[in-house]
Chain A
């Protein structure tokens, strides 16, 4: 068991290393360096070569790519992503709180979505092809298909404008305490929640339908095991294991995929910061956000792997 855990942790670290190298290469080497990305085509065309060389020297871009990659990875290991190109502010200062805020939003969604999706998925599977299943399945398709900005706008019109129960736009500050931010964000959470529940309930329903149709469930039923025990203690764990990896991937995608919702509600998260960094061509900020998102995917995958290790003895072999 311990060696399996260590192997997965090592593989995760290796994946992170390659991801960091890839992000560096994608943003600084291919097709040009940070300066090429930051300057407009017109500027590049008009700038004298000696001035360009001077600027590259100032930003350390005249050093060999391998040397810069080494410095980048060393910086990443120390959580130092350098400074912004325009204002020379430390990138970590710019990214840290938005990252926390996005994790907070994603965390609130996951904590709420999982039990609700579980109830819906299990219920739909229990009453498979009955009216409840039809209602859940239809609702899931609708919830999964409608874009988040449509849901967000609809919720704002309903619960902020028509009935002013919740804030329509987030006025809390980037560095406000977590609870202050969450208290201001019921509509952003609800907006992401609808799609999340739909996705997770769909996966769980399929897993549960398969589990309930399996031989071991049939055998338990023949043995006279009460239906609720069959459902919750036997079928559910069997259904959860294959769903875990999909859930982990979804949770990871959530953090990087809530850009639209953050923009609709002016939520001070990573999405807003990423849009600002891309439009301002702040390469170092983009690198930090890309790496943070990648790290979240890797960590969630690792957690899912570890959970599967714990739940399924066959994987410890």
Chain B
């Protein structure tokens, strides 16, 4: 009797699999033959590893600011959309244009026939009402000083200054159009004009949606139902759900998991180059050590950015940051000179009055992306080599935005934290504007260099020529390299893993801008 060993088992198994596969083809036809034509119907169930950082409860879980997944393109529309190459396109709007070359007044014309999930047509009243809310609650929209409905479909936006890249503001994930209502109730019903309407939510946990038949992109979406499950900080649980067939896809897996799944024939990995980085905000409130530029510079020189790329991103999937919000993939990105320099860091600390090193406050982080834990351990350990000592403490994603920023009213003594947050890919105008004094991520950076930075920003925003704007952006980044209002040590690509039968689901450098309209299930 022949021995039944591992080799026999493998051969028998493979022969059996081949037989079953041929039986499948004979009975059902070739799957390849059916691949070309998109198919309607089916449910897409995915796990999100980088969900919304605002804590929701039963009262606000349907609101676009608090919904489980920050990808609000499922349920709502914005006036514009940012595509995979980070160019802007029209979405609910049919026309977006400045009224003159000062670029501070923009007229936005809506498409006709865009319906909300309640069957009512979207009008300029809804646009005005939505942006009245956004300008009070979303940092990017605060530059809007006036919003006026001009006609049924035309809305006029007046900005505090010219902004050549204003259409990108209209595409931000918070900038969705909701049915007009007062500021206290708008958005609470979860009604949008997106391809899917909300049927159920579980605060901070899941959202279930069904196809909206009145969607303005005719014939879309292709899926009947989408289920989103929050598995932040639980990558293994999400991947087990994928392996067991519960999930069709997992969004924002880390580089290690991506490498693991890349060699598995049952799954596809989709990559978004550039992806994400992390900003470490350095609070500059009275008494803060970060008021001294030399301490900030020392910190920037002390961090081993190459080690972060190597350890958190497996080398090839990461890139070194330049302490601006720009991603390495952005053509306007300027490399920060100097690299890691421990001796220089120590010298700067000594000049600042810390010859024996400095102990900083606790640095808070949250698992907004799976690699965050490894990332901030490298930051902590490498800074220690230059005599910069601090504790790191993990906080939950749920409610992190409120925790990190607090109500941040300096006059009341409410200070934001020495803390990180994830930063996504955006156009240079939005990215570089994040270092303004009025924004928490700059740690409320002030002074003549800041004023010069903002003057350059204002100049860029009224410069229609993209090449000239790029030169101004380079100057702005050089100021950041010298001033270090915040530190953005490194970033990495982002990945989604999906089953082979999920089609037409490319990833997006802005994870909140993925469109599921044309995704289908074979």
Q: Taking beta carbons and an 8 Å cutoff, which residues of A are in contact with B? A: 40-43, 46-48, 50-51, 54, 84, 86-87, 89, 93-94, 156-157, 160-161, 164, 167-169, 171, 173-175, 263-266, 268, 275-276, 279-280
Contact = CB atoms under 8 A, between A and B. Distances in A.
Given A156-B240, A276-B396, A266 B231 contact: yes
B240 A47 contact: no
A161 B240 contact: yes
Contacts of B243: 160-161, 168
Interface residues of B, number: 44
Q: Secondary structure of the B side of the interface?
A: loop
Nearest to B366: A279
Given A173-B206, A266-B231, A48 B399 contact: no
A258 to B, nearest CB: 16
Given A40-B417, A89-B58, A168-B246, A174 B402 contact: no
Contacts of B356: none
B222 to A, nearest CB: 22
A171 B237 contact: no
A171 B227 contact: yes
Given A43-B417, A168-B244, 8 more contacts: A40-B362, A84-B57, A167-B244, A169-B231, A169-B244, A276-B396, A280-B396, A280-B399
B399 A87 contact: yes
12 contacts: A40-B362, A42-B361, A43-B417, A51-B413, A87-B399, A161-B240, A168-B244, A169-B234, A169-B240, A263-B234, A268-B202, A276-B398
Contacts of B415: 43, 46-47
B496 to A, nearest CB: 17
A59 to B, nearest CB: 14
B240 A173 contact: no
A46 B246 contact: no
- Across chains A and B, which 5 residue pairs bring their CB atoms closest together, nearest first? A168-B240, A89-B57, A48-B413, A173-B202, A160-B244
Nearest to A174: B202
B235 to A, nearest CB: 11
Contact of B45 (A84, A171, A265): A171
Interface string B235-249: 001101101111000
Contact of B414 (A51, A276, A279): A51
B40 interface: no
B362 A174 contact: no
Contact of A86 (B205, B244, B402): B402
B287 A173 contact: no
Contacts of B237: 168-169, 264-266
A86 B406 CA distance: 10
B431 interface: no
B403 interface: yes
Contacts of B227: 171
Given A48-B413, A175-B202, A280-B403, A169 B241 contact: yes
A81 B508 CA distance: 44
A161 B237 CA distance: 11
A280 B285 CA distance: 24
A89 B59 CA distance: 8
A280 B57 CA distance: 14
Interface centre among A265, A266, A276 (most CB of B within 10 A): A266
Contacts of B158: none
A173 B200 contact: yes
Nearest to B227: A171
Interface centre among A169, A173, A264 (most CB of B within 10 A): A169
Nearest to A266: B237
Nearest to A39: B406
A268 B408 CA distance: 33
Contacts of A275: 396
Nearest to B406: A43
B246 A169 contact: yes
Nearest to A165: B244
Contacts of B200: 173
B414 A42 contact: no
Contacts of B361: 42
Contacts of A168: 237, 240-241, 243-244, 246
Interface in B380-438: 394-396, 398-399, 402-403, 406, 412-415, 417-418
A27 to B, nearest CB: 19
A151 to B, nearest CB: 15
Given A89-B58, A174-B205, A280-B399, A46 B240 contact: no
Nearest to A93: B58
A87 B401 CA distance: 12
B417 A47 contact: no
B229 interface: yes
A89 B58 CA distance: 9
A164 B245 contact: yes
Interface centre among B55, B398, B418 (most CB of A within 10 A): B55
A93 B57 CA distance: 9
Given A168-B241, A266-B231, A46 B287 contact: yes
A40 B244 CA distance: 41
A277 to B, nearest CB: 10
Contacts of B56: 87
Contact of B285 (A40, A46, A169, A171): A46
Contacts of A51: 412-414
Given A86-B55, A167-B246, A169-B231, A160 B362 contact: no
A188 B74 CA distance: 32
A46 B408 CA distance: 12
Contacts of A175: 202
A168 B244 CA distance: 6
A92 to B, nearest CB: 11
A171 B399 contact: no
Interface string B162-206: 000000000000000000000000000000000000001011111
Contacts of B241: 167-169, 171
B244 to A, nearest CB: 4
Nearest to A52: B413
Contacts of A86: 55, 399, 402-403
A40 B416 CA distance: 11
B55 A87 contact: yes
A167 B364 CA distance: 34
A263 B231 CA distance: 10
